[in-house]
Amino acid sequence: MSRVELGIGLPTSGRNASPETIAQVAEGAERIGLGSVWTFDRLLRPTVPIAMGGAGGPVMDPPEAFGTVYDPLETLTYVAARTSRIRLGTSVLDALFQNPVVLARRIATLDRLSGGRLLAGLGQGWMSQEFEAAGVPLSRRGAGFGEHIQAMRAVWGPDPVRFEGRFYRIPESEIGPKPARPDGPAVLVGCVAPAAVERAARLGTGLSLVIFDWDMLRETIARFRRTAEESGHDPSALPVVVQVNGDVTDKPLDERAPLTGSPEQVAGDLAALDELDVRHVLWMSDIEPAERLRLMERLRALA
């Protein structure tokens, strides 16, 4: 039996997004024994073609689903009130578009309201139009993102809080609520570039990765854990989450990406995640909600 927890993305964007379908999937996922449900962040859908994933990515029209995306933290707060056990994750929330004090309080509030069930996946963002709309320069990425996480950790720490950085400053203050655990919620950094992976490792966060192929996944995780150990962190204490931008399907696929295909095919892939000590795997998909739950229940029975 696989040790990796299985999770699915909530229908928070596109044609299936509604309060009713979000609740249906969240409650159904808990009922069939999945480990987690996940949201993602998108501020807007530009009306012009964009480089998907940022500079260097393929230029195409942005997906229609980007035009309506439920806020990740408000959605998970709604889900927290309708569930009792399942973990609640963001994969990922674009941290730089919010002030670190504001975002840290929102995250801590959700963590407390959910009884400490939050997995806080954070990213830098990549779409220039979103940075423009948020009033944040693209140059804030990199060192500014690392400092943003440090500032939030200060907010989650003991009072009085004080932080002095290059980009963010917090005067000595009392700031609450604090998260459910003294060390704060589990923080996962979503990234793929080697420099960003190494930055996450130095910060001592977990890692959230989209899987494209097995070799790239193994190399990235090895780089992350090696850098974490060199930076004085225990790599085994830093969770790794893998996101699959694909489907579990009713029938087997002749040609398939990792962790896609029939429940039997995907169950066979999970051993590779166990070998890599991956803690969670989640599927982002726009399959009709009831069908997704049916297929995930089949997969869980095999896993």
Instruction: Express the helix, strand and coil content of the chain in percent, nearest 5 each.
Output: 45, 20, 40
Q: In this predicted structure, what is the pLDDT of residue 174?
A: 98
Could you give the CA distance from residue 279 to residue 201 in angstroms, rounded to a whole number? 16
Q: Which residues contact 275 (CB under 8 A, 6 or more apart)?
A: none
Residue 223 class from Cβ within 10 Å (0-12 exposed, 13-18 middle, 19+ buried)?
Answer: middle
The bridge status of strand 50-51 relative to strand 59-60 is antiparallel
Q: In this predicted structure, what is the pLDDT of residue 286?
A: 87
pTM: 0.96
Q: Where are the alpha helices (DSSP H) in 69-116?
A: 72-82, 100-113
The pLDDT tens digits along the chain (303 residues) read 789 999 999 999 998 899 999 999 999 999 999 999 999 999 999 999 999 888 888 999 999 999 999 999 999 999 999 999 999 999 999 999 999 999 999 999 999 999 999 999 999 999 999 999 999 999 999 999 999 999 999 999 999 999 999 999 999 999 999 999 998 999 999 998 999 999 999 999 999 999 999 999 999 999 999 999 999 999 999 999 999 999 999 999 999 999 999 999 999 999 999 999 999 999 999 899 999 999 999 999 999
Q: Which residues contact 96 (CB under 8 A, 6 or more apart)?
A: 124, 125, 131, 134, 136, 140, 141, 144, 145, 148
Nearest to 153 by CA among 197, 95, 198, 194: 95
The domains found in the chain, sorted by start residue, are 5-302 (3.20.20.30)
The answer to whether 285 and 273 are in contact (CB under 8 A) is: no
